[in-house]
Amino acid sequence: MDAEMRSAAYPSPALSAPRWSPEGPSAGAMRADRQPADSGFRIRLMGHEDLAFVVAEHLRHFPDGFFARLGPKFLTAYDRTYLTGPDARAYIAEVNGQLVGFIIGGIDPAAHRRHVLHEHGRGLLLRALGSLCLQPRLALHFLRTRLVRYGRKLIPNRGAQQTSVLGHIGVTAVLDYVVVVEHARGRGIGERLIARFVKDATDAGCVRVTLVTAAEGGAGPYYEQHGWLHQGEIRRSEGRLLLAYDFPLRDG
């Protein structure tokens, strides 16, 4: 549960770790009013009918993630939680009716995690256990690197539940995944997807948006060009090095 585990199992960034597709979007100002070169472009809410596309692209771009290694059935069930949770956001980018990208994240990751556990926890657990039973090496990796950490994060946090009545003021939103299909890159589509998520986080009263990207071959330079602030490095239990970035939404 990497970027995946961050929104559903971690109080800070999502269930695992948010990442950008290998190439990333083209450089340019991250403005919500910038139009891609394509006519017929639009961003819309993700629906259940889009999950096959989202899961296929997720597996194509992030095959080494823990959730991806649990298989497409688990990943489909997990991605579906972003469609049912009020504290999550999931958008699809289209050009002339063709799906060309998506973005998912949590406006309030802790609240979304509680929603996932309450509404989908049993189903996700059964699917994960079934997959781990068929993959002994992955199961051993889970026991060694994630069991204790996930267990701590899955314990209900009464304090967080009580403060949730205050809304999203002061909350850090987490951008989990952004993907633009290869043939549609370089048209500003990624910028528009990110801008849409940032606008939602701003409207909700969040103080910042955070994400991580791979240290090698990731999109760190792109984010820095667009005003994201490098916050440091994260070394995952499997040895993978990630860079953390914040995008401030409010002064101070």
Contact indicator for 11, 170 with CB cutoff of 8 Å: no
Q: Rounded to an integer, what distance in angstroms lies between the CA atom of residue 20 and that of residue 174?
A: 13
Q: Rounded to an integer, what distance in angstroms lies between the CA atom of residue 136 and that of residue 132?
A: 6
**89, 64, 92, 68: which is closest to 78 by C-alpha?**
68
- Res 162: pLDDT: 43
Residue 104: both structure tokens together: 């998912």
Sequence-distant (6+) residues with CB within 8 A of 223 are: 20, 211, 213, 245, 247
Q: Quote the percentage of the chain above a pLDDT of 70.
A: 69
Average pLDDT, integer, range 178-206: 94
Sequence-distant (6+) residues with CB within 8 A of 54 are: 46, 79, 92, 102, 104
- pLDDT-derived band at 169, boundaries 50, 70, 90: low
- Res 42: pLDDT: 95
- pLDDT-derived band at 9, boundaries 50, 70, 90: very low
Is residue 166's pLDDT more than 50? no
Higher-scoring residue by pLDDT: 62, 133: 62
- Res 49: pLDDT: 97
Average pLDDT score over the chain: 76
- Res 207: pLDDT: 94
Burial 158-196 (b: 16+ CB within 10 A, else e): eeeeeebeeebeebbbbbbbbbbbeebbbbbbbbbbbbb
What is the pTM assigned to this prediction? 0.74
Q: Rounded to an integer, what distance in angstroms lies between the CA atom of residue 118 and that of residue 75?
A: 18
